[in-house]
Amino acid sequence: MKHLLLVVMGLLYAATAFPFGVYIFADMEGCTGVTNSEQISGGFGAARMEEDINACVAACFEAGATRVVVRDGHSSGRNVNPAHIDPRAELIQGPTPGVRYQHLDGCEAIILLGYHAMSLTPNAILAHSYSSRNTQAMYINGREVGEIGIDALIATEHGVPVVLVIGADDACREAEDWIPGVVTCQTKKSITTQSGKCLSAKRSHARIARKTKEAVAKRHSIPMIQPVYPSTLRTELVPKGSVRVVFPEYVRDPNPRIREKTGNNVEALLLGKPRK
Ligand SMILES: [Zn+2]
């Protein structure tokens, strides 16, 4: 009886000894079954996002996470229906001025879910860099960069590694290029910026679950990419009156208007200083 008690206490200790959180930053363009602009402004894309998020959340808990935070990060940040999200997860919606990863405390890993390739990546589904209306290209210290690279640099500034990037084939390649050693999960293959070959939802969700467990298990061994300070963030702007960069008709402007900022914090360069 005494032994049994010790075993039970030991198991309880093991289960609670190392609590850790996982942070899922969720975009929509790279989600299962999303291939074009019409699908990302209404209910279709939001529903696909909910399904991918739930596959990922469940796998995080199975991998031992004691807390999972989901950031609804597409457009206004108000896409998914909270009633449709796994109730064990904490959901953040709406603007968080100056802060990319709100409530990151206690998290040991970041997952970029539903991500897409950087602006003007040839024939990459819905490729853009933060704004398909305003931004033609972004560079950090002279290297062309998109949301995957910038968000990984900001993650490092908070001491948390990006362990998994989920999206189309080109987004996965970009992730491996920017974050050597990161786990990637391909939900589809791009054909053009507005079309793709999709994995069935069932297979895609099973893949998300498997890759999530693998990435969370590797969270202490995936290296964080290191920002170089001072960092210069250069943004090339889309000409006024132009179509959005996600449409095949968009042609790269050879003499774009430029916005450039230099500083020692990539998050502040991207978002401005947090409002007090
Ligand atoms: Zn988005």
3-state secondary structure 57-82: HHHHHHCCCCEEEEEECCCCCCCCCH
Ligand 1 geometric centre to CA of 12 (Å) = 41
Q: pLDDT tens digit string along 211-256?
A: 999 999 999 999 999 999 999 999 999 999 999 999 999 999 999 9
Q: pLDDT tens digit string along 94-147?
A: 999 999 999 999 999 999 999 999 999 999 999 999 999 999 999 999 999 999
d(CA 53, CA 192): 25
d(CA 224, CA 218): 12
Domain range summary for the chain, segments of one domain joined by +? 20-271
Ligand 1 geometric centre to CA of 127 (Å) = 10
* CB-proximal residues (5 Å) to ion ligand 1: 27-28, 74
d(CA 69, CA 104): 8
Structure tokens at 17: 């000894």
Q: What is the CATH number of domain 20-271?
A: 3.40.50.10780
Ligand 1 geometric centre to CA of 210 (Å) = 24
* pLDDT score of 17: 61
Q: Which helix (H) or strand (E) holds 170?
A: helix 169-178
In this prediction, residues 11-26 reach a mean pLDDT of 79
CA dihedral 175, 100, 212, 200 (to 10 degrees): -70
Ligand 1 geometric centre to CA of 4 (Å) = 52
Q: pLDDT tens digit string along 144-191?
A: 999 999 999 999 999 999 999 999 999 999 999 999 999 999 999 999
Nearest residue to 31 via CA among 162, 179, 186: 186
Rounded to 5, what percent of the chain is helix, strand, coil?
30, 25, 45
Matching residue, tokens 């808990």: 61
Ligand 1 geometric centre to CA of 70 (Å) = 15
In this prediction, residues 255-272 reach a mean pLDDT of 97
Ligand 1 geometric centre to CA of 96 (Å) = 16
